[in-house]
Structure 1
Amino acid sequence: MGTLQNGFTKFSITKPSEIPLSNGTTNHLKNLLAETEDLSNMDPSRVFVNKVKRLIVKVGTAVVTRSDGRLALGRLGALCEQLKELNVQGYEVILVTSGAVGLGRQRLRYRRLANSSFSDLQKPQGDLDGKACAAVGQSSLMALYDTMFSQLDVTSSQLLVNDGFFKDAGFRKQLSDTVSSLLELRVIPIFNENDAVSTRKAPYEHCLQDSSGIFWDNDSLAGLLALELKADLLVLLSDVEGLYSGPPNDPNSKLIHTYIKEKHQREITFGDKSRLGRGGMTAKVNAAVCAAHAGIPVIITSGFATDNIIRVLQGEKIGTVFHKDAHLWKNIKQESAHEMAVAARNSSRRLQALKSVERRNILLAVADALEKNQNMISLENEADVADAVTAGYDKSLISRLTLKPEKISRLAKSVRMLADMEEPVGRILKRTELADKLILEKISCPLGVLLIIFESRPDALVQIAALAIRSGNGLLLKGGKEARRSNAALHKVITSVMPDTVGGKLIGLVTSRDEIPDLLKLDDVIDLVVPRGSNKLVSQIKESTRIPVLGHADGICHVYVDKSANIDMAKQIIRDAKTDYPAACNAMETLLVHKDLSCNGGLNELILELQREGVQMYGGPKASAMLNIIETSSFHHEYSSLTCTIEIVEDVFAAIDHINKYGSGHTECIVTEDAEVAETFISQVDSAAAFHNASTRFCDGARFGLGAEVGISTSRIHARGPVGVEGLLTNKWILRGTGQVVDGDRGVNYTYKEQPLKA
């Protein structure tokens, strides 16, 4: 049947009885469940999950099947592992599943093909009967669930129902008694509508005012069962993160975390109906609104993640919640964002009051904690990476996401390097005698509160947090959803070593992208925003706030190989600049080559060097014609992979013009033995960093001796290039006198004498 991937373990399937499930996933889910009673990590709007004992989980066709109509075995495996862990922890779990029609259709298509003659295949093939598909697929679907649950030492049961059954009070009583008996025995009841004999013709339109209402799809069936079986929570798993204000693929649509009927009912524009099933988001919202009105909370969230049900019960702010008291929560988000920023500012002021050695000791404790918790961090990161692979993310993102043990060790080392740096806060930068016994000092001080928004790289969280501690700043961090577990683990490790005098709120972790707009409005509390990510992210941040923004949109770095270059050196530099870490923002994206090298064989040597490393090449107009390679669609493109653009230029001035026109102002390199040409290049290239005979990969805060970097800035105000501790400081003026007054400057003899920095 193929390969099954549940987000953590891949395994081949030869027959149903041989399907193994992952112990690693189970251990991870146990760790998550162990934290569900920790209210400190819970979103205020999700505290109600602590009272949940009986829950119904509905999984739709779009979740249990892939885009080609085949079963998504990996997602089914992850679903079963979550339900097993909930079952073990004492939750009463009821599953409502779709997928029988899709599975039956797949099997019947194969059977029709196998039984058809060649002449039959030449005739138009009509659609398969949906009821026949349901009849064939139901037994196969339940056999698969039974096999998966059996391997997890869980017993499941099948209950097929029709809408008409619920009109009978005796049936409803028998149903409730049967389910209660099954749950007492820790059996997981699996419900599905019996499509094979269903008589319904009209779509579901009725609100679930009582249990005698009919249902049209499995969403409304789940809602109806939630009422009838007195569930404490209904979880509807979808193929998107939750309910959006418009179609999820519309970039202007926003995820709605809390549905308020009075506010959202007329504002929402629904996307297409489910690609496979009867329902879609409209059906889910109808069912959720009705169930919530009857007092049963509902959460719509993605079924593509491997642990979203556990996260829901952990109180995380994921998906969209429907609750009868939701209208009372509408101000929670704004208050929490502001309070988080204020708390970070207050903590930063307490941090600044500490002695230098005390701040240093905090950093040393962070480094020790990273090494001590390396296994836990790696486990959480592996789960993130597995999910990213399952979701089909680019290799470049997965590379940035991965936290190998050696990278964690390097992070600890960089934190210790920061700890050993000269104290940056309160350093006297300038000392001037304004007049006799009137001394003016310019000293360094923290900026205040930093908001860092970054994607993919969980190691950035450690670097930024260490820099904030060293520079005495408060910090708010928002990482990408693909690194959610890794970031949470690292944040927990770092804040756990904060002394009580400072408090754990010095560094806040923002968990929802919906909180970003509110944070960007807090120009009275947040002092600097640093976005680290795509051009789109940086541009959106700049357009959305009055807070100063520091960062770079693209990392389009160039290497120019001059006619006087040492070709062996050039090969070494371009190989490192492109292949050492292709996903980095300081990796080479464009190679510029002097025209003379196309005549003496130098260009061919450079091309062969890149080809040996597996680099795919596109050409500018000249290079594509000369080398017979595909012409690039744009010089202003950051590949972040083993791909680059090559172009032939007339001389160093043409190279400079090309870089200044198409570059992003990040890092440029010239390879040449001509010192005069090198100086021309370095002085005229308008970028934050310009190198002579050295790889662009050296443009890094740690490699520059800054200990770490909060990011690389291509702007010209405040800080440029790799931004370390100094880039997170500003200054204040201290004036020390003996009672002097201005009095119209009468009697004041200004001397303006520079004084030694140390009194």
Structure 2
Amino acid sequence: MTDAASLIADLGRRARDAAAGLARMSTSARAAGLRAAAATLRDDEAAILAANAQDMSTAEARGLTVAMLDRLRLDAGRVAAIAAGVEAVATLPDPVGQVIDRTTRPNGLDLCRVRVPIGVIGIVYESRPNVTADAAALCVMAGNAAILRGGSEATHSNAAIHAAMLRGFVDANLPADAVQLVPIADRAAVGAMLGADGSIDLIIPRGGKSLVARVQAEARVPVLAHLDGINHVYVDGSAEPGMARRIVLDAKLRRTGVCGAMETLLIDRAFPDAGGLIAALRDAGCVVRGDGRAQALVPGLPAASAEDWDTEYLDAIVSVAIVDGIAAAMAHIAAHGSHHTDAIVAEDEGVAERFLAGVDSAIVLWNASTQFADGGEFGLGAEIGIATGRLHARGPVALEGLTTYKWIGRGTGQVRG
């Protein structure tokens, strides 16, 4: 057994005990722990920002991309938002103990399905130190213990956030091991978590494509994840041009490094202002690459390659295709999308409903920016990630997605005989 494997096994044993304690605690007790953690995050703002400054200096020296630096950077506003997010989770309805459905069998046996915590959740993530707080808050509120393994680029930030929250948890009498931070940066720790079947019940990766691909390929523990955010906005011929422009610019450029950013723009050939949309993106500083039809509309537009349609840029780059209506748009999304988030801009309700019903993505939007792909915007409080698979949870994963269920039967002496 390697040192990393021994370490993860020990964290897992402690987490299992903490999870059992959390599951027995009341909703109000867990919520009080989160409110206390939010308070200690605010108290420790200076220490958190000083730790983040260390990480930013190292990251800049290592030449991290602009998108990665944006994900890593903290300021007073972002620390305040992290604390507010933790508090918001404390106010959400507690799914634990919720009766999903109930039936009485012909023999009188009363059966119901009840939501229960999953147990021990491992989160492997990169860059974003806010994930430390989001994951901790969501796991604890849903009655789960968490083992967090952040990226080396955010070592000091993650440690400062975890230390602040841990102090709040302990002050509120939550188990000290409810949220544990893996103390080593060795990549072997990730491998040990992926192989910790029996110690960890669910792995959630948040990060770049290589991290998520590794987790999905190597894990012996169930995984909840998305690999890419290749998101589309389709502008129908019926779209109102002003609305289309606002949505397209926001979807691409509000924050280019988030997984909800638009990467491909599809424009109906019947839309009257395709050239204007492309020009608006370029004028806003976006690099635009187009198919042959788009190039014909905008002289000098660089050509989009075959690889562009399957690329998550996470940067101010977008690919544009002119398509023959909704059927062609949906075919393009089916061929190149990642089942994350896709949107239609249209005034024609029939066309919009066809898109909403026919596009097989975790999030499908009508007349709204793809940047709404966020648990907070969905009223879920903080999110632990976006799931694009079809099992257990899909879309923004918050409290309900961190529970499973068990069957409870209440009888009056029934036997099968």
Equivalent in the alignment of 2:160 = 489
Q: Deviations over 1:84-104 (max 9, x none)?
A: xxxxxxxxxxxxxxxxxxxxx
Per-residue CA deviation, residues 145-189 of structure 1 (Å, 9 max, x unaligned), is xxxxxxxxxxxxxxxxxxxxxxxxxxxxxxxxxxxxxxxxxxxxx
What is the distance in 2 between the residues matched to 1:629 and 1:486?
42
- In 2, the alpha carbon distance for the partners of 1:584 and 1:467 equals 20
SS of 1:346's partner is helix
Q: Which residue number corresponds to residue 590 of structure 1? A: 264
Counterpart residue number, 2:175: 503
2:150 to 463, 472, 479: 479
Aligned: 1:528 with 2:199: no
The one of 597, 603, 612 aligned to 2:283? 612
Partner of 1:629: 301
Alignment of 1:111-126 (within 5 A): none
| Cα offsets for 1:387-414 (capped at 9, x unmatched) | 1112211101000111121111112222
In structure 2, distance between residues paired with 1:620 and 1:404: 40
The 2-side partners of 1:333 and 1:649 are apart by: 52
CA distance in 2, matches of 1:618, 1:435: 64
Say whether 1:405 aligns with 2:79.
no
Q: Distance in 2 between matches of 1:527 and 1:549?
A: 9
Structure 2 CA distance, aligned partners of 1:692 and 1:569?
A: 12
Shift of 1:430: 1.7
Match of 1:374 in 2: 45
The separation in 1 between residues aligned to 2:219 and 2:169, in whole angstroms, is: 31
- 1: distance between equivalents of 2:53 and 2:226? 29
Whether 1:573 aligns to 2:244 is no
Q: Distance in 2 between matches of 1:712 and 1:406?
A: 24
8 Å contact kept, 1:556–1:638: yes
Query: CA shift at 1:331, angstroms?
Result: 4.3
Residue 17 of structure 2 is matched in structure 1 by 346
1:423 aligns with 2:94: yes
Distance in 2 (CA, whole Å) between partners of 1:333 and 1:532 is: 21
Q: Which amino acid aligns with 1:352?
A: A
Q: Where does residue 514 of structure 1 map in the other structure? A: 188
Q: What amino acid maps onto 2:178 in structure 1?
A: L
Q: Which residue of 2 aligns with 1:206?
A: none
CA shift, 1:625, in A, is 4.5
Name whichever of 474-483 and 425-434 sits farther off.
425-434
What letter corresponds to residue 629 of structure 1 in structure 2? Answer: L
1:253-304 deviations in Å (ceiling 9; x for gaps): xxxxxxxxxxxxxxxxxxxxxxxxxxxxxxxxxxxxxxxxxxxxxxxxxxxx
On the 8 A contact 1:424/1:470 being kept in 2, the answer is: no
Amino acid at match of 1:519: M
Corresponding residue for 1:448?
119
Asked if 2 retains the 8 angstrom alpha-carbon contact of 1:348 and 1:502, the reply is no
Query: Residue by residue, what CA displacement relative to the aligned partner does 1:339-378 show, whole Å, maximum 9, x if unpaired?
Result: 1012111101101111221111001111111111111111
C-alpha contact (below 8 Å) 1:564/1:674 kept by paired residues? yes
CA distance in 2: counterparts of 1:362 and 1:437, whole angstroms: 41
Deviations along 1:568-614, one digit per CA (max 9) or x if unpaired, are: 000110111111111000011111111123xx4x0122122212211
Q: Secondary structure at the match of 2:155?
A: helix
Residue 663 of structure 1 is aligned with which of 333, 337, 343? 337
The AA in structure 2 aligned to 1:359 is R
Over residues 621-673 of structure 1, what are the superposed CA-to-partner deviations in whole Å (9 max), with x where a residue is unaligned? 43235423222231111111111111111111100000110111110111111
Q: Distance in 2 between matches of 1:362 and 1:502?
A: 6
Amino acid at match of 1:336: L
- Amino acid of the residue matched to residue 409 of structure 2? L
Q: Percent identity?
A: 39
Structure 2 SS opposite 1:596? coil
Q: How far apart, in 1, do the equivalents of 2:38 and 2:149 lie?
A: 21
Distance in 1 of aligned mates of 2:276 and 2:56? 37
Count of matched residue pairs: 411
Q: What letter is aligned with 1:569?
A: M
Deviation digits for residues 212-237 of structure 1 (CA, Å, limit 9, x no counterpart): xxxxxxxxxxxxxxxxxxxxxxxxxx
Q: Give the Cα separation in 2 of the matches to 1:621 and 1:389.
A: 38
Q: Secondary structure at the match of 1:403?
A: coil
Match of 1:733 in 2: 407
CA distance in 2: counterparts of 1:632 and 1:613, whole angstroms: 19
The aligned amino acid for 1:339 is: D
- Match of 1:499, SS? helix
Query: 1:651: which partner in 2?
Result: 325
Whole-Å separation in 2 of the counterparts to 1:518 and 1:610: 45
- Indicate the structure (1 or 2) with the bigger Cα radius of gyration: 1
Give the alignment partner of residue 235 of structure 2, picking from 561, 585, 589.
Answer: 561
Output aligned runs, 1:46-195, within 5 Å.
Answer: none
Compute the TM-score of the two structures, normalised by the length of structure 1.
0.53
- 1:418 shift after superposition: 1.3
**Tell me, what secondary structure is at the counterpart of 1:706?**
coil
Structure-1 residue corresponding to 2:216: 542
* 1:683 maps to 2:344: no
1:711 is aligned to 2:368: no
Q: Distance in 1 between matches of 2:62 and 2:20?
A: 42
2:372 corresponds to which residue? Answer: 698
- What is the root-mean-square deviation of aligned Cα atoms in Å? 1.5
Q: Distance in 2 between matches of 1:532 and 1:334?
A: 21
Rounded to whole Å, the distance in 2 between the matches of 1:625 and 1:539 is 38
Are the aligned partners of 2:104 and 2:111 in contact in 1 as well (CA < 8 Å)?
yes
What SS class does the counterpart of residue 504 from structure 1 fall into?
coil
Residue pair 2:275, 2:297 contacting (<8 A) in 1 also: no
1:743-754 alignment runs, 5 A limit? 743=417
Q: Does 1:389 align with 2:63?
A: no
Counterpart of 2:411, as a letter, is G
C-alpha deviation, 1:619, in angstroms: 1.4
Paired residues of 2:33 and 2:174 also in contact (CA < 8 A): no
In 2, distance between residues paired with 1:625 and 1:452? 47
2: CA distance, partners of 1:436 / 1:334: 50
Aligned-residue offset at 1:538: 1.4
Amino acid at match of 2:141: R
Q: Contact 2:42–2:79 (CA<8 Å) still a contact in 1?
A: yes
SS in 2 for 1:578: helix
SS at the partner of 2:312?
coil
- Listed as ranges, the gaps of 5+ residues in structure 1 are 1-329, 744-759
TM-score normalised to structure 2 length: 0.95
Higher relative contact order (CA 8 A, sep 6+): 2
- Within 1, Cα distance between the matches of 2:41 and 2:387? 28
- Structure 2: state its 5+ residue gaps: none
SS of the residue corresponding to residue 322 of structure 2 reads strand
- Map 1:258-277 to 2 at 5 A: none
- The AA in structure 1 aligned to 2:356 is I
The whole-number CA distance in structure 2 between the counterparts of 1:504 and 1:410 is 24
